[in-house]
Amino acid sequence: MDVIRLHKMIVLMVVLLMPLFIFSQEAASENTGDNPRIPEPRSKTVGVMPFMQVDYSGSIISNIESPLSCPLSGLCVDINKPVNLTETRLTRYLQDALRPRLRENLIPLAEVEDSFKKINASNNDTPLAIAARLGKALNADYIVVGILWEFTERVGKSRSVESPAAVSFTLFLVDIAKETQAWKRHYQKQQRPLTDNILEARDFFKGGRKWQTADELAKQGMQKILADFPL
């Protein structure tokens, strides 16, 4: 009788301790090279290249089929001239618009600008080539390129103008590994009286029911065309 009872106790202890043994073996396996922990995918990093403002001097070149692959000289852009205030503002507006979406994956603008100065680009380079070199210097996955076609300030005040503001720009997303365009959107806006186009009523009221500045139009444009930004 005692032997039978002892046998049952041994069986019960084995049943109770078996899960602990299996768990310890699995834990040991996780800590060896036989079952390495799979790393999580790295988030894609994005940098915003300083805007390039076209000096079209009366010629309409915003219809160029592939501005990203056009030499800067063909875009009437002089890479050697100092960055103007408008280009700086548009770059910061774009950085601000992307920050809530990309968060820590958005490379700080100061870091991008510092690398951009060291690229030594020429007017024979294309925006795509410059973006590719900048992306590699930053070890970024993507670079956003902005080309500014027009930035005309309003003449007059918010309630009455002689000439309304006008803004036109194109944004490109460049895949650095492939050195190709991954996304493109164009924005063009000249505010008109509500009586001329009732379809603009929503923008009119959203803009505070006034004649907006070029900066205000640019900020609105950033939000609109980034709505389907792929990252």
Tell whether 137 is covered by a domain: yes
**Average pLDDT of span 41-54:** 88
pLDDT on residue 6: 53
What is the number of structural domains in the chain?
2
In this structure, are residues 231 and 46 in contact, taking their beta carbons and an 8 Å threshold? yes
pLDDT digits (tens, 9 = 90+) for 65-107: 678 888 888 887 878 787 788 999 999 999 999 999 999 999 9
Tell whether 231 is covered by a domain: no
**Domain containing residue 213: CATH number:** 3.40.50
* Cα–Cα distance, 43 to 81 (Å, whole number): 35
Please indicate, yes or no, whether residues 30 and 141 belong to a single structural domain of this protein: no
Please indicate, yes or no, whether residues 103 and 214 belong to a single structural domain of this protein: yes
List phi, psi (to 5°) of 116: -60, -35
pLDDT on residue 202: 58
pLDDT digits (tens, 9 = 90+) for 168-184: 999 999 999 999 999 99
pLDDT on residue 201: 47
Query: Tokens 């592939």 appear where?
Result: 66
Mean pLDDT computed over every residue of the chain? 78
Could you tell me how many residues make up the chain?
A: 231
pLDDT digits (tens, 9 = 90+) for 117-166: 998 888 899 999 999 999 999 999 999 999 999 998 877 776 666 778 89
Full residue range of the structural domain in which residue 34 is found: 1-39
Please indicate, yes or no, whether residues 172 and 78 belong to a single structural domain of this protein: yes
Comparing 39 with 227, the larger pLDDT belongs to 227
Please indicate, yes or no, whether residues 6 and 113 belong to a single structural domain of this protein: no
H or E segment at 12? helix 2-30
Please indicate, yes or no, whether residues 86 and 2 belong to a single structural domain of this protein: no
User: CA angle, 172 as apex, 139 and 143 as ends, to 5°?
Assistant: 10
What is the pTM (predicted TM-score) of this model?
0.73
Please indicate, yes or no, whether residues 195 and 179 belong to a single structural domain of this protein: yes
Among candidates 109, 57, 38, 97, which has minimal Cα distance to 220? 97
Please indicate, yes or no, whether residues 132 and 194 belong to a single structural domain of this protein: yes
